[in-house]
Structure 1
Amino acid sequence: MSDRLWAHSARDGDGLRHGLADHLRGTAWHAGTFGEVFGAGPLAAHCGLLHDVGKGSCQWQRGLIDAERLGGRVGIPHKHAGTWLLDQHGLGIMSAVVFGHHGGLPDATRLKKELRFADTDPLVAEAIRRVGEIVPEIHPSAPIALPTWLPEAATTDPYALDLLVRMVYSTVVDADFLDTEQHFTGSARPFHPISAADLAERFEQGRLNLLENKPRSPIDGLRQEVYRQCLEASQGPRGIYRIPAPTGSGKTLAAGGFALHHARLHGMRRVIVAVPFMSITEQNASVYRRLLDVEGEDPVVLEHHSGIDLDDGGAGRRWQRLAAENWDAPFVVTTTIRLFESLFSHKPAAMRRVHRLAGSVIVLDEVQALPDRLLIPIVSALRSLTQWFGATVVLASATQPPFELLSPLQGTHIRDVIAEPKPLYKALSRVRYQWLLDPKPTMAQIAEQAAAEPQVLVVVNTTRDAARMHELVEEHRPALHLSTRMAAAHRRAALDEITRRLADEEPVAVVSTQLVEAGVDLDFPAGFRAIASADSLQQAAGRVNRSGRLPYGQVTIFDPEDGNKAADRLYGAALEATRARFGPHCPPDDLDALEAYYRARFDFHNVEAAGHEIQQGRRAHDFPRVAELFRMIDEWTVPVAVRYGDTEKLDAILAHLRAGHPGAGAQLRALRPYLATLPRGSARQALEEGLATPVVGDLLEWLGDYHPQRGIELTSPDPQELVF
Structure 2
Amino acid sequence: MDHELWAHSANPAGVRHGLVDHLRGTAARAVKFASVFGAGELAGGLGILHDIGKSVCVWQEGLKWAESRGSRVVDAGGASIDHKLAGTWLAVRKANLGPFALSILGHHGGLSSRRALKDAMSSAEAEAADRVQEAVRRVSGLIPEILDDRRSAVPAWGCSSDDPYAAELLLRMTFSALVDADFLDTESHFTGERSAVPSLASMVETFEGARDSYLGDTRSPIDLIRSEVYDQAVQAAGGPVGIFPFPAPTGAGKTIAAGGFAAHHAARHGLRRVIVAVPFLSITEQNAQVYRTLFGADNVLEHHSGVNLDELPAALRWQRLAAENWDAPVVVTTTVRLFESLFSRKPSAMRKLHRLAGAVIVLDEVQSLPDGMLPPILSALRTLTEHFGTSVLLASATQPEFFSLGVFAGLQARSVIVEPKPLYKGLRRVKYEWRIDPRPTFAQVAEEAAQKPQVLAIVNTTKDAATLHEYLEKMIGEDVLHLSTRMAGGHRRSVLREIRSRLNEGLPVTVVSTQLVEAGVDLDFPVVFRAFAPAEALQQAAGRSNRNGLLAFGRVIVFDPADGSVTGARRVYGAALDTTRVFFGPGLADPDDLDALSAYYQARYALKDIEKVGPGAEIQRYRAEFDFPEVAERFKLVDEQTVPVLVPYGDDAERERLRGLLMSPGGADPWVFRKLQPYLATLPRRRAAQAVKEGLATELLGGLIEWHGEYHRRRGVEFTDPSGEDFVW
Matches within 5 A, 1:530-679: 530-564=531-565, 565-585=567-587, 586-610=589-613, 611-636=616-641, 644=650, 648=654, 651=657, 655=661, 679=684
The residue aligned with 2:244 is 241
Moved more, 430-439 or 469-478: 469-478
* One-letter code aligned to 2:621: Q
The residue aligned with 1:311 is none
Moved more, 72-81 or 241-250: 72-81
Q: Deviations over 1:692-711 (max 9, x none)?
A: 523xxx58475656655545
2: CA distance, partners of 1:716 / 1:344: 40
The residue aligned with 1:127 is 135
Aligned length: 698
* One-letter code aligned to 1:177: F
1:150 matched to 2:154? The reply is: no
The residue aligned with 1:93 is 99
2: CA distance, partners of 1:720 / 1:55: 55
Distance 1:627 1:101, change over 3 A: same
Residue 609 of structure 1 aligns to a residue in which SS? coil
Contact persistence 2:568–2:727 (CA under 8 A): no
The residue aligned with 1:377 is 376
The answer for unaligned runs of 5 or more in structure 1 is: 309-320
Distance 1:172 1:710, change over 3 A: farther
Contact persistence 1:279–1:488 (CA under 8 A): no
Residue 102 of structure 2 aligns to a residue in which SS? helix
The residue aligned with 1:205 is 209
1:691 matched to 2:692? The reply is: no
The residue aligned with 1:314 is none
1:280 matched to 2:279? The reply is: no
Distance 1:648 1:357, change over 3 A: same
The residue aligned with 1:260 is 263
1:172 matched to 2:171? The reply is: no
Matches within 5 A, 1:352-431: 352-431=351-430
Residue 629 of structure 2 aligns to a residue in which SS? helix
Contact persistence 2:198–2:299 (CA under 8 A): no
Contact persistence 2:489–2:679 (CA under 8 A): yes
Contact persistence 2:207–2:295 (CA under 8 A): yes
* One-letter code aligned to 2:454: Q
* One-letter code aligned to 2:560: D
1: CA distance, partners of 2:469 / 2:184: 47
Distance 1:137 1:124, change over 3 A: same
What root-mean-square deviation, in Å, do the aligned CA atoms of Structure 1 and Structure 2 show?
3.4
Contact persistence 2:248–2:254 (CA under 8 A): yes
The alpha carbon displacement at 1:179 in A equals 3.4
The residue aligned with 1:3 is 3
Matches within 5 A, 1:469-480: 469-475=468-474, 476-477=476-477, 478-480=479-481
2: CA distance, partners of 1:105 / 1:426: 50
Q: Deviations over 1:637-681 (max 9, x none)?
A: 56667775696599579959989899x787777776666555555
* One-letter code aligned to 1:408: V
Q: Deviations over 1:179-213 (max 9, x none)?
A: 344445x2433342222x43122111221112117
1:337 matched to 2:336? The reply is: yes
The residue aligned with 2:294 is 291
Contact persistence 1:479–1:509 (CA under 8 A): yes
The residue aligned with 1:505 is 506
Q: Deviations over 1:483-509 (max 9, x none)?
A: 345454444333233222211111222
Residue 394 of structure 1 aligns to a residue in which SS? strand
2: CA distance, partners of 1:79 / 1:683: 43
2: CA distance, partners of 1:156 / 1:360: 26
1: CA distance, partners of 2:528 / 2:226: 23
Residue 96 of structure 1 aligns to a residue in which SS? helix
2: CA distance, partners of 1:231 / 1:287: 18
Contact persistence 2:96–2:149 (CA under 8 A): no
2: CA distance, partners of 1:129 / 1:682: 60
1: CA distance, partners of 2:34 / 2:273: 15
The alpha carbon displacement at 1:219 in A equals 1.3
Q: Deviations over 1:70-105 (max 9, x none)?
A: 756743332212211211210000011111122221
Larger-gyration structure (1/2): 2
Residue 555 of structure 1 aligns to a residue in which SS? strand
Contact persistence 2:435–2:558 (CA under 8 A): yes
Q: TM-score, normalised by structure 2?
A: 0.87
Contact persistence 1:443–1:562 (CA under 8 A): yes
The residue aligned with 2:24 is 25
Contact persistence 1:461–1:513 (CA under 8 A): yes
The alpha carbon displacement at 1:348 in A equals 1.8
Q: Deviations over 1:205-251 (max 9, x none)?
A: 221112117x6433111111111111111111111111111111111
